[in-house]
Every structure is written in C-alpha cells, then in structure tokens.
Amino acid sequence: MIRDQYTTHTGTSLFASWAEVEQTVVSFVDFYISDFIPLYKAQGSPTSENRITDLLFIYFNSCNQGYLPFFFGKNPTQQTGYRESDMGIFANDIEMKPLLPIFEFEAKKLSSTSNNHEYVYGTRGGMERFKREIHSPHLPHCGMLGYVLDKEPNYWMGQINNWITNLATQSPLNGIDWRGDDELLHPIGTTITFSKCKSRNKRVTLPDIFIIHYLIDLT
C-alpha cells in the first residue's frame, strides 16, 4: 500500500533528491488516479476544465488523509509573475525556503469542442508555459493532465504529437524550440483508464524540463 511506503517519513526528509520527489508524487498519482473516474461520474461528469480539476484536487487530498509528507494545492502561485498553474504539490514543511510546490500540474480538457492544441501551444498552451518558464522555473520535473472527454487517450496522444511535429518544422517559433524527438510524448504506461507518457522539453534559458503526462479517459 502507498500508506505503508511513506508513514515513517516526516517533513521533507523523504525528498533528498528530485528523483525522490518525482518517484513519490508519480507513484501516488499512479496508484489513485483510476479511482477518480467513478467519483467524477457520480458528480455528473462535468465538462468544465476547472470543475474537473476541483474534483481531482479534492479527491487527491482525500486519498492523502494527512499521512504523507505532502499535500495538493489548487492554483499555486509562482515566485515571480502573476501566472498560476492548475495544481501544485507542497511538502509539509513550513520552513521550506522558498515555499513553492515540489511538483506542478497543468490541466487541459481534450474534446471535439475544445481548443485542443492548447494542450501544447498558444496563449494558454500547457506545455508551452513550462517551456517558456512561466510555470515551474524552479523545477526539473512537472506534469500535464489531459481530461479526455471523447474518443480515447491514444487518439489524443497522436494528435498532440502531430501538433508538436508541425511546430518543429517552424522552430524556433516565438522564441521556443520544438525540434527533437524528446519533445514528443513517449508512452511509459497504459491502463484501461489512462495513458501515461513522458517528454523532455527545451526551455528558453533553463535546463530541459521533464513532463509526465496523464491522459485520463473520462468518456
């Protein structure tokens, strides 16, 4: 059980390295995310991106129940600027300086009525915001949540990679570079409820950022 893995840790002693941060957060999400779907459907299967994120945020914190050395926060601020990501994970350590998330997620819905390319690029582009260092400039890892409202996750993974491939033919575009196979989503795990991928993406001035992608089947 997830509970048994972490109950001996307090404060940030668990997080001796960024690899441990990623391993801790990602293993938690992997373990619990499938059971979010019945809750989502019991709440009427909302189609609002913000409403889905609210439900997921509440669900993750209910799964945590205070026994892990981190908690989920909605719309965390960055150290500078005014932009907020959709969900942050914070260490239970009030002495942490600066008090910033140890992991962040940006969320986008994927449906026939959405501006789906914003998962990747645009003014509200999720991946683009990480690449432009608007979100998570202090982190080497982050996450994207894709709320699949029609078709299925593998279809959207293909669409996302097509958008990235097309952007690569124009790189550098508006100051960011999409060239290279690492920019694409690479599958690292699939269940009946979500597809999990990873990408390594170039930033404007900082080292590359690794993005974990969860394409969650909410159909």
Q: What DSSP line would sit under 146-199, residue for residue?
A: EEE-SS-HHHHHHHHHHHHHHHHTT-SBTTB---SGGGS-EEEEE-SSEEEEEE
Alpha helices of the chain — where are they, by DSSP H?
2-6, 18-32, 36-42, 49-64, 126-131, 153-168
Cis upstream peptide for 98 (omega within 30°): yes
Four-point Cα dihedral 121, 122, 128, 130, nearest 10: -140
Calpha distance 43→167 (Å, rounded): 37
Q: Are 122 and 128 in contact (CB under 8 A)?
A: yes
Q: Are 187 and 212 in contact (CB under 8 A)?
A: no
Calpha distance 151→140 (Å, rounded): 32
Least confident of 42-51, 70-79, 186-195: 70-79
Overall average pLDDT of the 80-103 stretch: 80
Calpha distance 59→44 (Å, rounded): 15
Question: Higher model confidence: residue 168 or residue 82?
Answer: 168
pLDDT of amino acid 11 = 36
pLDDT of amino acid 159 = 96
Residue 97 has pLDDT above 80, yes or no: no
Residue 170 has pLDDT above 80, yes or no: yes
Overall average pLDDT of the 29-58 stretch: 95
Q: What share of the chain is helix, strand, coil (3-state, %, to 5)?
A: 35, 25, 40
First-to-last alpha carbon distance for the chain, in angstroms, is: 28
pLDDT in tens, 121-139: 998 899 999 999 999 999 9
Largest CA distance in the chain: 50
Q: CA nearest 88: which of 119, 65, 57, 51?
A: 57
**Please, is 140 exposed, middle or buried when counting C-beta atoms within 10 Å of its C-beta (0-12, 13-18, 19+)?**
middle
Report for 16-25, 94-103, 171-180: range of highest mean pLDDT: 171-180
Overall average pLDDT of the 176-181 stretch: 94
pLDDT of amino acid 72 = 93
DSSP 8-state symbol, 97: S
Who contacts 6 (Cβ-Cβ below 8 Å, separation ≥6)?
Answer: 14, 24, 67, 68, 69
pLDDT of amino acid 88 = 93
Overall average pLDDT of the 10-22 stretch: 63
